[in-house]
Amino acid sequence: MPRWVPAQLKRSATLSSSATRSTISNQMSACETSRGEWTRRPQRQPRCSPTIVLKDVMAATPSAFGSFYNEKRAASDLRKYREKGPNRWTGALIQALKAEDVAGATLLDIGGGIGAIQHELLAAGVTSVTSVDASAPYLDGAREESERRGYGDRVTYVHGDFARIADSIPAADIVTLDRVVNVYPDWERLLRLSAERARRLYGVVYPRDTPFVRVSILALNLALRGPVRAAIHPDAAIEQMLRESGLTPHFSRSVGPVWQVAVYRRRV
């Protein structure tokens, strides 16, 4: 299977939540395990890097998604990241964001996998990160790497489907979605809700709308025959939705034959 195939199928799931933003904010600041709606995954380090889980809705997550984005795949991605660093498209997004001076900023990374964007931007001066992902193994991989780098106390991990729990996720200066839009079923809602939480910058990586990519994704979907289905959305449609959310295009670059990397700015 080509290297880019599993990478582009970012994690997705179905969750629901009635929690408020203040609930997660309190968990981020106090780093406490409470009874009832919220729990914290067992920690291996003394410093605070909680994983917040919605107990009452995690049962609704399709098991097939968790089985695809499993421990073996997460471990492989983490190992490759440690050996080679971010892949080209993720690296292009990271560099474009770093050029905007991220020192002192906060980051919301949606579907960030093993956390390449988080790790690189924390090293560049980002002060704190909220990482939301539907795959527990990938969150564990991201936490393992942040702890290894000494940033564990600056990241809060939320296990869930962002589009279903968005009301409980705090806004951030920077919001990123790296190869998430192309596999999320309700991609328009995902874009709208994530864009609303970007106070300053919004970074996104998605497949280019070209004949080659369309044929490649069709073949991919036929080959996998699983619950994760990739799709292509026109650049114009993505840009229009983000403009309607108060963002304006700032940077756009094609990386290889497959990926488009874009950064948007919040209109002042």
Residue pLDDT, tens place only, 25-59 = 444 444 443 323 333 344 444 455 555 544 333 33
Task: Supply the pTM of this predicted model.
Answer: 0.79
What gap in Å lies between CA 99 and CA 188, rounded to an integer?
Answer: 28
Residue pLDDT, tens place only, 95-151 = 999 999 999 999 999 999 999 999 999 999 999 999 999 889 999 999 999 999 999
Q: Which class is domain 4-266?
A: alpha beta
Residue pLDDT, tens place only, 236-253 = 999 999 999 999 999 999
Q: Return the closest-CA partner of residue 233 out of 179, 197, 196, 193.
A: 179
What gap in Å lies between CA 205 and CA 191, rounded to an integer?
Answer: 12
Phi, psi of 28 (to 5 degrees): -65, -40
Domain boundaries, the chain: 4-266
Q: Which two tokens stand for residue 23?
A: 């609930």
Q: Contact 162/169 with Cβ under 8 angstroms?
A: yes
Q: What are residue 53's DSSP bridge partners?
A: 39, 159
Q: Contact 132/111 with Cβ under 8 angstroms?
A: yes
